[in-house]
Amino acid sequence: MKKGILFFLSLVLVIFSCSNPTILQENKEEQQTTKTMLAPEKISFAVVYSTVIGLNHPSTGVLSPVNEASWATATWTKGANFNGVDLEIGVYAPSATKLLLEVYEVATGSNAAYDYWMQKGSDGVWRAKLAQAPDKTLYAFRAWGPNWTFNSSWARGNSNLGFVTDVDSQGNRFNPNKVLFDPYAKELSHDKETPAMTAAGEDGGMYGTGSALYKTVIRREYDTGKWSPKSVALKADGVSFGMKPQIADKDNIIYEAHVKGLTNSDSVTNLTTILSGISGFETIANVPAAYKGTYKGAGYMAKYLKALGYTTIELLPIQETANDNNPTTSSGGNFWGYMTYGYFAPDRKYSYDKSLGGPTKEFKEMVKAFHDTGMEVYLDVVYNHTGEGGTWASKSDTREITSFSGLANQYYYRLTGTNNEWYYDGTTGCGNQVNGNSDASRGLIIDSLTYWLDVMGIDGFRFDLAYTLGRRADLGYAYDPNAPVLLDIQNLGQTKNAEMIAEAWDCQGAGVSSFPPKWGDWNGDYRDVMRKFIKGDGYKPGTYYSFGDVFYGTYNGYYDGGQGGPQKSINFLVAHDGFTLTDLVSYNLKYNTQVWPWGPSDGGNDNNLSWDCGGSQSLRRQQVKNLWAIQMFSRGTPMSVYGDEFGRTQNGNNNVYNLDSIATWNNYNMINTDSPDTVMSAQGQHNNLGTDGHADGKNGLFLFTKFVNNLRKNHVALRQGDYSVPITIKKEDGATGLTDADKCVWVRIDGSTKGDSDFLVFVNTYTAQVSYKVPKPEAGKKWVRIIDTATWAEANDNYWDSSTGWSPATDADQWYGVFPRTVVVFEKVASVTDTTPPTVSVTAPANNATVSGTITISANASDNIGVTKVEFYVGNALIGTDTTSPYSISLNTTTTSEGTNTIKAKAYDDANNSTEASVNVTVSNGTSGRVRTVVFMQKETVSGQDIFVKGGHDSGLVPTYYPSMSEPIIYNNTINTTTAAIKANDGSLDWGSESALDWTCKPGTSPYHDTNNITYANSGYGVDPENLWGMHYWKLDVDMFGAKGDWFEFKAFMRQGTTEWWENNITQTGTPQATINHWGKKGYITQCAYGANWANFTALP
């Protein structure tokens, strides 16, 4: 894993990564993709209110302090969050003695327009609140502390007043000359170095400390205010990220990609022509040239990846990093982005809309594009170190101060040395290690993840060097699989239904499959075993696990006493840091010293377990397909790298972290050709794969990838969340056990146990043809060859549909000759045309039964060959499917209509013949039927807070018509994408689970929502004519069972990050009985306020 960062001056700074030392590049020429720095909403900053530091601000009106005397006891959260029209700011700096908030009119070129002395709370958070703050307000901080004390004569512009030392024995590195951005900033205005900065003769050396000179000024005294990145305060923009697909992790097929590399090639503007004639890509659109390499451009690729069979795109880091000065005509800089600065901020470089607020909106629009196609979006995140790096040139007093180190150095970082003057980087190789044990770091990590989940719409994360996060200070930084931050992350994933995936190693250790059971991780054992096995090193090629172990799902690593499962094993063969799949079979050694655009790159692993196939292009094509087939049939979650689907090459460079070039961009012109490597031959691309054996003008590897991906996607037997599907692994005779040196493996997957097909997978890594046993199928079945990767089969792209593939005789065991270094797959299907449908009957509930609450629907089904599934319906609405006998599902009848309903069971066989049977039932969940019921609760929340209600009845107050403490509910408005998932799984107002509320405002109180027609009726939130009172009224709009005027109880439940709390007890008068909860009336609008004892009731029609 290689990380690089831009650094400055003539000073040479070397940073070591896990596999690669990097000489940091000097500034390069201005790029066309430079981020634009725009001012916030226009206000006048012309007035100077005071020349005294901290007092230059208006006393009333826009950006004036709000109740300044209360700041020290306030409790609002970290970051900049709008509370109505006012802006609340909090920043963690427990050892600081003074902290100055600065507000800027423009991001660069000028000093702060206003400044304010923030006040410190008992929690170490400094706070300020500004009135009527404009959206996109630019702000930053200056800090003083024990190592640099406050002097009232200090002024902006290179001052040394108050200086004691660059770093003290506690690790403090406060320096008021270094303007600091907010670690919680939602966006950063620009990078620490930009082309404009370079053009002005400046560089990143200004951010350093120590006694060396920068531009004739002692470095520590150089004031960075005119160039430092500024934090951007953003109001909610109302942009939707769509409905999260909530894909089960067992069903995932992951595509790892760089957001720029995905669409920066000119070929994306011609996708419709390139993909013409290939089934499944009919709705693909060309990416407009202006959107190349952007979030907006990436959104266009959702349908492409969906058609290829992928469920999930995993993006390399897009949190703000220093890449504005990355060159595009030579190697240098940090293309991959593993040096994070802004953990809440999407990188402005990748946004087509580079205005303030633009990247946030455009990123969510990209996520929505994927969600709208049914795909999920994961982010690669880097919490093990930050972009600030470590000390410079082995000088403990010299390091960059841009944010974390200037606010809470010893809390965010792992320090070492007698006087805490050094940064420990042995685990990350990137200059520093984040102290994942500290409250500051744990809080930032969870708050950041929660923001990306709740606000930006992300579905999961891959954690760079996650092993580092598990290193505990109180254990001498030894790894602990139950380290608090790892459990925090696991709990967040469970709460938010988000996948958490570890890179389960760092530079000083590895713990593959050692993380808490609900984590997934990159299975490095799978990678190493498969790489060695496929090139002929044997069944157990000197590794801890054998081929069979990792193919089976690495049971010993991921079963976790039944709490884990094979889906937690991310089965990958290659990743961004290393060879591509094509290069893995094309090079024996890395080739990183070649010239631009394929290099040069430093570092890179010297032990790649690769093989160049003796130079044979046909064998390389065969080996790529072998690996792809094995990966898609292995138990676990497969992941591949962008461009591998058509054979992208990096010409043998295995560490392209510093290349923003055709070597790291997908060129889709490689799809519509039989000779993909000739597409960029003029640019020096190596011809690794040659010409395939099917002269159809289409890349055979691309077609094969599409086939095997979708084969996996469409077969439940290949997508399991446990180890229940039997997998038998033997020698080629299907009976004899394997030895470590064996090169021929016979695999049987008994998918019929799950109502799916059985499969045979024959893998021959030997140098000669070997005969494999095809067992006699049972009556009515046959084996069909669907894959053969041998060169002879290239004329058919090495695959066949099960309805057209060749079948051996069925009267006895047969033998199939598998060519050298070949994978063959057979699928068992019905042997004759089956026209006999199954039989089915509904066994429960009984016909004409009266039902209520949650019931079980059961059916018996049989078939002359076999039942594949039984579907259950209420009326014509499908409510569930069962693939195993006895066939049954549960139904919450409160979600159906009262009165007579038809329940239907429909059975299918392997030939898709079907039969249905039905019964009629009477649903009776209440003596008085349904009544619409509405609650409006007033509560002004802050960013990151979630509000719900729980309720029903206290014990002893249960109404006779529904014998439970809970109240069945049916939501009347489910179009709010933020709350839709909760509503879909919520059938009752109860005390154990959360019911969803939607934010509303009174017409005329929010110009933004009024102007943009964001209403409760069309968006599920916003302007609502039933809200007669004002802003921030949260609405519960449901049907309840009972009579108009019946009472029910409820109370708010809050969550922020991993912190949860109930609303305080309520003492409401005029209710049937005194309790500690709010009371509402069925058939009424109940108006109340969070924490208040009053309620108003208005009867509904």
First to last CA, the chain: 64
CA-wise closest residue to 401 among 410, 389, 411, 413: 389
In degrees, rounded to 5, the angle at the alpha carbon of residue 704 between the alpha carbons of residues 702 and 709 is 95
d(CA 296, CA 352): 7
d(CA 91, CA 77): 8
Contact 118, 130 (CB under 8 A): no
768 burial type by CB count under 10 A (0-12 exposed, 13-18 middle, 19+ buried): exposed
| Active-site choice (105, 365, 459, 503) | 503
In sequence order, the β-bridge partners of residue 902 are 920
Checking DSSP bridges between strand 1033-1041 and strand 930-938, what pairing results, if any? antiparallel
Contact 373, 140 (CB under 8 A): no
pLDDT the model gives residue 7:
30
Distances (CA, A) of 630 to 473, 533, 625, 761, 826: 41, 11, 8, 8, 13
pLDDT the model gives residue 542:
93
Dihedral-angle region of residue 538 (phi above 0 means left; psi in -120 to 50 means alpha; beta otherwise)? left
d(CA 260, CA 603): 23
pLDDT the model gives residue 798:
98
d(CA 353, CA 36): 9
H/E element holding 468? Answer: helix 466-469
The class (CATH top level) of 723-829 is mainly beta
DSSP letters spanning 292-350: TTSHHHHHTTHHHHHHHT--EEEEPP-EEES-TT--SSSS-S-SS--SEEEEEEE-GGG
- The answer to whether 756 is a known catalytic residue is no
Contact 816, 762 (CB under 8 A): yes
Task: State the amino acid at position 502 in one-letter form.
Answer: A
How many residues are there in the chain?
1101
DSSP letters spanning 888-943: EEEEEGGGS-SEEEEEEEEEEETT--EEEEEEEEEE-S-TT-EEEEEEEEE----T
| Active-site choice (166, 362, 464, 660) | 464
d(CA 886, CA 1063): 45
Contact 204, 193 (CB under 8 A): yes
The alpha carbon of 984 is separated from its chain's Cα centroid by a whole number of angstroms, namely: 22
Residues of the chain with CATH 2.60.40.10: 839-923
Beta-carbon count within 10 A of 817 CB: 13
Q: What is the 3-state secondary structure (H, E, C) of 49-83?
A: CCCCCCCCCCCCCCCCECCHHHHHHCCCCCEEEEE
CA-wise closest residue to 433 among 413, 407, 418, 406: 413
The dihedral formed by the CA atoms of 532, 731, 727 and 571, expressed in degrees to the nearest 10: 10
Give the dihedral sign, CA 161/164/165/168: negative
Residues of the chain with CATH 3.20.20.80: 252-703
Contact 950, 988 (CB under 8 A): no
Structure tokens at 600: 């040069």
Going by the DSSP 8-state scheme, the letter that residue 500 receives in this structure is E
Contact 101, 142 (CB under 8 A): no
d(CA 895, CA 172): 59
Residues of the chain with CATH 2.60.40.1180: 723-829
Contact 978, 244 (CB under 8 A): no
Task: State the amino acid at position 188 in one-letter form.
Answer: L
Residues 6+ away with beta carbon under 8 Å from 1004: 1010
Residues of the chain with pLDDT under 50: 1-40, 927, 958-963
Longest dimension (CA), the chain: 98
| The CATH number, out of the four listed (1.20.140.90, 2.60.40.10, 1.10.540.10, 1.10.10.10), of the domain defined by the range 839-923 | 2.60.40.10
In degrees, rounded to 5, the angle at the alpha carbon of residue 687 between the alpha carbons of residues 683 and 693 is 135
CA-wise closest residue to 234 among 350, 87, 348: 87
Contact 814, 777 (CB under 8 A): no
- The answer to whether 990 is a known catalytic residue is no
d(CA 138, CA 190): 11
Dihedral-angle region of residue 201 (phi above 0 means left; psi in -120 to 50 means alpha; beta otherwise)? left
| The CATH number, out of the four listed (3.40.50.10860, 3.20.20.80, 3.40.1360.10, 1.10.10.1100), of the domain defined by the range 252-703 | 3.20.20.80
Contact 224, 177 (CB under 8 A): yes
Identify the three-state secondary structure at position 5. Answer: coil
